[in-house]
Chain A
Amino acid sequence: MQFNLDVLKINCAEETKRVTQFVTEQVAKGYRRKGVVVGLSGGIDSAVMCALAVEAVGKDKVVGLILPERESNPVSSQYAVSHAKELGIEFREIDITPTVDSVASYSQRDEFIRKLIPGYTPGCKYNITLPTDLLDRASFNFYVLQVKLPDGTLEKKRLNLEEFRTITSFANIKIRSRMIHLYAEAERRNLIVAGTTNRTEFILGDFCKYGDGGTDIEALAHLYKNQIYQLADHLAVVSEIIDRAPSPDTFSLPVNDQEFFFRIPFDKLDFLLYAWEHQVPVEQTSKVLDISDEAVKRAFKDFASKNHATAHLRVPAYSLDGDVS
């Protein structure tokens, strides 16, 4: 197996053609709809998906929905608006705070966090993070709740499983609320919902079932994050989006994707994932990436664990006849 630092390089013109053909076929023949709706997060994946949809069906048949809630980073909406204007598509911004609040109120969530960190008051910024040094040392995936208190100090508490699940369930309500708004738009206008999950997220399970994983097509799910960046350059995505650190933008205190889920720097992550998926030997991988064999083994173990633990996300539902699809 040939493995080198060029292994993820793609021919962007050809790849654009391949994806746009897929999108066109799905709109016209697969679903027989009039166009595409994309949730614009202000991040690179949705920006690339939207640009590809425009290439595929034309800007008049693409609608962008910008769906912030009260804890979203305001620059996310600004960047999304800027990109939508650049593409010349119709777009709308809908504040999903009432939708989120109607399922499980922000005050209920605030009360839960206050039990864990008594100094927390509504309006304090918070996030959850994993250790980010997986390549340097072995450790399990334990989440830490971080709250920025009114006096500016950062208080931390390691979460047990029940606490982690509860906070995750609150966060996923935000993501699933976006799915509801996207489908409301899609049904009303006879459009398909285009997902924005890339291969890195798909294989490792960094998406929410019936949230950002609730879509009609996943036209980026074969492309590693590294390749999404290549396409972003090719498609002239606005530089603010290309330059910002990828983030779930689910928590009020900024957290990037490495801290929230991947634990490995992005300049190594996709190469390691590719090597794991293609069974490249550990020694060959470590030599090409200039890291230790132990670091590669730790990454491979983490990939196997995440892939196994999230297998249920990648199937619609289990039934007696197998997957319902």
Chain B
Amino acid sequence: MSNIETIRGFVVENFLFGDGEQLTDDMSFLENGIIDSTGILEVISFLEETYGISIQDDELVPENLDSINNIAVFVENKLALVPDSQERHVG
């Protein structure tokens, strides 16, 4: 499963009660009321646990986390920074 599919699956399951028909990969979560400010905390925990990455405070910005596409690019960039010796948890 690709990162985009994994992220989409999480968002649809947890915030749209399984109905992801209207959700596009570039849709803003906040502007469209898909995920609220506390829901973002759930997304952060999911990404840290699923991909074994550590997200810093200054990375908690919309350009990293406010759509499926933004998250996928952010995750790929984070994983690229993980040293080869460290195990990667990819979805």
Contact = CB atoms under 8 A, between A and B. Distances in A.
B36 A140 contact: no
Nearest to B33: A308
A140 B61 contact: yes
B70 to A, nearest CB: 12
Nearest to A160: B45
Interface string A152-181: 000000111110100000000000000000
A306 B61 CA distance: 16
A305 interface: yes
B30 interface: yes
A161 B41 contact: yes
Nearest to A143: B41
A158 B45 contact: no
Interface residues on A, range: 20 to 34
Nearest to A168: B38
A301 B40 contact: no
Interface in A273-325: 301-302, 304-306, 308-309
B43 to A, nearest CB: 9
Contacts of A139: 58, 60-61
B30 to A, nearest CB: 5
A161 B63 CA distance: 21
Nearest to A164: B41
Nearest to A156: B57
A158 B57 contact: yes
A142 B41 contact: yes
A160 B62 CA distance: 18
Interface residues on B, range: 10 to 19
Contacts of B40: 140-142
Nearest to B45: A160
Contacts of A305: 30, 36-37
Given A142-B40, A160-B44, A305-B37, A137 B31 contact: no
B7 interface: no
B27 to A, nearest CB: 14
A138 B63 contact: yes
B18 to A, nearest CB: 20
B61 A309 contact: no
Contacts of A142: 40-41, 44, 57, 60
B57 A161 contact: no
A107 to B, nearest CB: 26
10 contacts: A137-B61, A138-B63, A139-B58, A139-B60, A139-B61, A141-B38, A142-B44, A142-B57, A160-B45, A309-B37
- 6 closest Cβ contacts across the A-B interface? A309-B36, A161-B41, A141-B37, A140-B40, A140-B60, A160-B45
